[in-house]
Structure 1
Amino acid sequence: MREFGYRRVLDVRDAVGLLDADPDARYLAGGTNLVDLMKTGVERPGRLVDVRELPLDRVESTPDGGLRIGATVTNSDLAAHPDVRRRYPMLTQAVLAGASGQLRNMATVGGNLLQRTRCAYFTDTSLPCNKRNPGSGCPAIRGEHHNHAILGASGQCVAVHPSDMAVALAALDAVVHYETAEGPGTLPLDAFYLPVGDTPHRETALPEGALITGVSLPPAPVAARSRYRKVRERASYAFAIGSVAAALDLHDGTVSAVRLAYGAVASRPWRARTAERTLLGAPANAETFAEAADAELAAARPLPHNAYKVTLMRNLTVALLGELAEEATR
């Protein structure tokens, strides 16, 4: 591991100022992803700016009935918060599905959003990777890609985003708040993650040196009846091979409100807006749910060894929406 400097900060402006003055620095909170990448040589910061003690560790109700979640709130505290459990259960379920208790105790909301892909070609510095070394190639396309993207990929990169929490946040229309040397800013989660295109090394639209300060969730009555379902290759603490965050409301047997997002199928959390449009005003039955999933997955472009994800995501969508519809009619 490269030698690095270390500085702990207690003020947001101090943190931002340090990165503004030193482009070789990185923010450190829980370190559950960054430290691993430093050990493998993928990340080589000259200085770590420890933001763990910043006053950003609260979950608070907003005047409009939503929630504001501080960037240093731990995953454990987020999942256990009574307002999150009651008003946004899919978020609690996604966080609990994401990692072991030990990791959840360290990992933070801001860091979770900035997770890097777990693609083996990205984490092995002896191999080419456009995300790590632009222009070097994407060996996953012809190599090991059984858990790679089927939606929104490009000829430059087929890696998937690993976060479970971000999938639920995508379905909930979350907004990311950040601070820069020029002042504060916001990004809707839809705009936070960039399409992979020809620049897979540019993963987010955050300005250079920006510090995430929190995430806000707008009021969403539909989210009170919501679930997150994750499929993985082993029963505990593995990254998803496919996941769905869903919320559903019915009126007289038809879909009156719906939120749907997919995980582990693209380079970013995938908001299933085509499926949502298909569902709105339609009968709440298995046929409609399958039609909506098929409409969304019509854009899938699987590789030879991950075509199973199309069927997996279709079945997950139908099953999860079916459970929510049954619950709504009790």
Structure 2
Amino acid sequence: MREFDYRRASDVPGAVALLGADPGARYLGGGTNLVDLMKSGVERPALLVDVRELPLDRIEVTDDGGLHIGATVTNSDLAAHPEVRRRYPALTQAVLAGASGQLRNMATVGGNLLQRTRCAYFTDVSKPCNKRLPGSGCPAVAGEHHNHAILGASPHCVAVHPSDMGVALTALDAVVHYVTADGPHEVPLAEFYLPVGTTPHRETALPAGALITGVTLPPAPVAAASCYRKVRERASYAFAIGSVAAALDVRGGTVRAARLAFGAVASRPWRAHAAERALIDGPATAEAFAAAADAELAAAEPLPGNSYKVTLIRNLVVAVLTELAAECRRTEEATR
């Protein structure tokens, strides 16, 4: 690891000013991803601006009944918060599935959204990688790609985004708040991550030097019946090979509302809009859930080594939605 300078920010404008004055600077939250990348030589910041002491560590109910989550809230505090557990259970489940307790105690909400792919070609500086060095190529296309993208990829990059939290937040219509030298801004999480296209090194819509200050979840009664399910190659903490975040409202056996997002299948958490459209006003049956999954996965373009993900996600969608439909039925019966 090469030498770098370190500064601790005392307020948000000061943090933004420090980064604006040094193009080679990076914000430091928990460091659970950035420090690893610095050790491997992928990231080589000249300055780290520590933002952990900024007043961004609170979770608060918004005026409209949603929830605002500060950027420096730790993953542990987020998962344990009673309002998150009660109103957005899929988010708690996603965070708990994401890492060990030690990592959750350090990792922050803002840093989680900005974590970079764990593709082995990206993290090995001796290999070419368009995400790390634009124009150098994507060896994963013809190489090791069993855990790579089946949706929204391009010949320039087939890596997947590793965040579990991001999948749940995508299904729940989260909005990201950030600050630049021009003041505060916001962007829906659905637009936060950029399509791969020909520029896989451009991962988010954040302007240079922008600091994430928080995430807002809108009020969503459907989220009370929500679930996050993750499949991984070992039972202990590991990155997903496929995951689903879902929320469902079923009344009288008919789907009234649905939210669905997939993880570990694309360069960003994948909102399953086609599946949601297929579900609305349809029967809450396994057959209908499978048809909805097929509607979304019709766009899949798997590589030879990861075509299993199509079947995996399909089965996962059916299992999760069937579980949520049963929960909705029990709630409906209890209120009669």
Q: Given the two structures, how large is their TM-score scaled by the length of structure 1?
A: 1.00
In 1, are the aligned partners of 2:71 and 2:108 still within 8 Å (CA)? yes
Name the SS for the 1:141 alignment partner: coil
Amino acid at match of 1:2: R
Query: Shift of the alpha carbon at 1:183?
Result: 0.7
Q: Could you say what secondary structure the match of 1:139 adopts?
A: coil
Shift of residue 54, structure 1, vs aligned partner:
0.3
Judge conservation of contact 2:251–2:329 (CA < 8 Å) in 1.
no
Q: Structure 1: how far apart are the matches of 2:329 and 2:83?
A: 24
Work out the CA distance in 2 between the residues paired with 1:250 and 1:119.
38
Q: What is residue 45 of structure 1 aligned with on the other side? A: 45
The 8 Å contact of residues 279 and 292 in structure 2, kept in 1 or not, is answered as: yes
Equivalences for residues 26-175 of structure 1 within 5 A: 26-175=26-175
Cα shift readout 1:245-286 (whole Å, capped 9, x = no counterpart): 001111211000110000000000000000000000000001
Please say if residues 57 and 71 of structure 2, whose CA atoms lie closer than 8 Å, have aligned partners that are also in contact. Answer: yes
Count of paired positions: 330
Q: Hey, what's the Cα distance between the residues in 2 that align with 1:319 and 1:149?
A: 22
Match of 2:238 in 1: 238
Where has structure 1 moved over 6 Å in runs of 4 or more? Answer: none
Deviations for 1:52-77, whole angstroms, at most 9, x for unmatched residues?
Answer: 00000000000000000000000000
- Matched with 2:333 is none
1:2 shift after superposition: 1.1
Which residue does the alignment assign to 2:21? Answer: 21
Report SS of the residue matched to 2:176: strand
**What SS does the aligned partner of 1:140 have?**
coil
**1:227 aligned residue:** 227
The answer to whether structure 1 residue 324 and structure 2 residue 324 are counterparts is yes
Matched to 1:155, the amino acid is P
Aligned twin of 1:257: 257
Read off the aligned partner of 2:260 and give its amino acid letter.
L
Shift of 1:328: 1.0
Aligned to 2:300: 300
Counting only pairs closer than 5 Å after superposition, residues 163-202 of structure 1 correspond to structure 2 as 163-202=163-202
Task: Output the aligned Cα RMSD.
Answer: 0.4
The residue correspondences of 1:207-218 to structure 2 (distance < 5 A) are: 207-218=207-218
3-state SS of the aligned residue for 2:309?
helix
Structure 2 residue aligned with 1:247: 247
Quick one: which amino acid aligns to residue 227 of structure 2?
R
Counterpart of 2:200 in 1: which secondary structure? coil
Seq. identity, %: 81
Aligned to 1:287: 287
CA distance in 2, matches of 1:179, 1:96: 28
Unaligned 5+ residue runs, structure 2? 331-336
Distance of 1:308 and 1:78 partners within structure 2:
33
Distance 2:236 2:244 in 1: 17
SS at match of 1:329: helix
The amino acid across from 1:11 in the alignment is: D
Distance (Å, rounded) in 2 between the aligned partners of 1:227 and 1:168: 9
